[in-house]
Amino acid sequence: MKEKVLPILKELVPYVLIILTVVLIRTYVITPVRVDGKSMESTFQDGDILLLKKYDHAFKRFDVLVFKRRKNVQQDGKIKKIEERLVKRVIGFPGEHIAYKSGKLYVNQEEIEEPFIDQITKDFDLNDLGYETIPEDYYFVMGDNRNNSADSRLFGLVPKKDIVGTSDFVIFPFSKFGKIKSY
């Protein structure tokens, strides 16, 4: 009996190792994430699939972040809490004051160019959210499609603990396969 079981186990070991490796990579390193909605147009389209780098938490201004957001939805007459993953661009960091005046971004009263935006952003000031500056461990995020984006202007600042990682690589559709431009 031992002679029959041992070859089968030896044959299964590589498959088990492959499955374990894939699970570990998807859990801790990289995994696909789907863009849901039009808030990141024209950079991404609804349904694009990106490669999420879970290990990357050292991001810079205008990097694309993926973060968790909890919200309440009414379903079957009951309020249900759901968690969604959103894809947005990081605009403001802790200690900064963010404002939009006449369609231009100002960080700590200094104008910052946004080369990826092809539309005018409505005037906004961080004071509208009740902050003079962004608190430690929080970030201000926005979609690239400023007129059709639920972002920090609407739901507030994103806590660092909710940031899953960054993305700069499209894996689907294949016509867009590759690294996105970095700003």
Task: Give the CA distances from residue 80 to residues 70, 73, 77, 83, 151, in Å, rounded to whole numbers and listed in that order.
Answer: 10, 5, 9, 10, 21
Nearby residues of 84 by Cβ (< 8 Å), 6 or more positions away: 36, 68, 69, 71
Q: What is the pLDDT of residues 55-96, one digit of tens each?
A: 888 899 999 999 999 888 888 888 888 889 999 999 999 999
Domains assigned to the chain: 30-171 (2.10.109.10)
Q: What share of the chain is helix, strand, coil (3-state, %, to 5)?
A: 25, 40, 40
Catalytic residue of the set 10, 54, 68, 88? 88
CA distance 4 to 17: 21
What value does the CA radius of gyration of the chain take, rounded to a whole number of Å?
A: 21
CA distance 69 to 82: 8
Mean pLDDT of the chain: 91
- 39 as an active site residue: the answer is yes
Q: What is the pLDDT of residues 18-47, one digit of tens each?
A: 888 888 878 888 899 999 999 999 899 999
Mean per-residue pLDDT, 168-180 = 93
- 102 as an active site residue: the answer is no
Residues 139 and 123 sit within 8 Å (Cβ to Cβ) = no
Catalytic residue of the set 2, 4, 38, 39? 39
Residues 169 and 32 sit within 8 Å (Cβ to Cβ) = no
Residue 1 has pLDDT above 70, yes or no: no
CA distance 126 to 60: 19
Q: What is the pLDDT of residues 141-167, one digit of tens each?
A: 999 999 999 999 999 999 999 999 999
- Does the bond joining 42 to the residue before it have cis omega, within 30 degrees of 0? yes
Longest dimension (CA), the chain: 80
**CA triple 160-64-167, angle to 5 deg:** 100
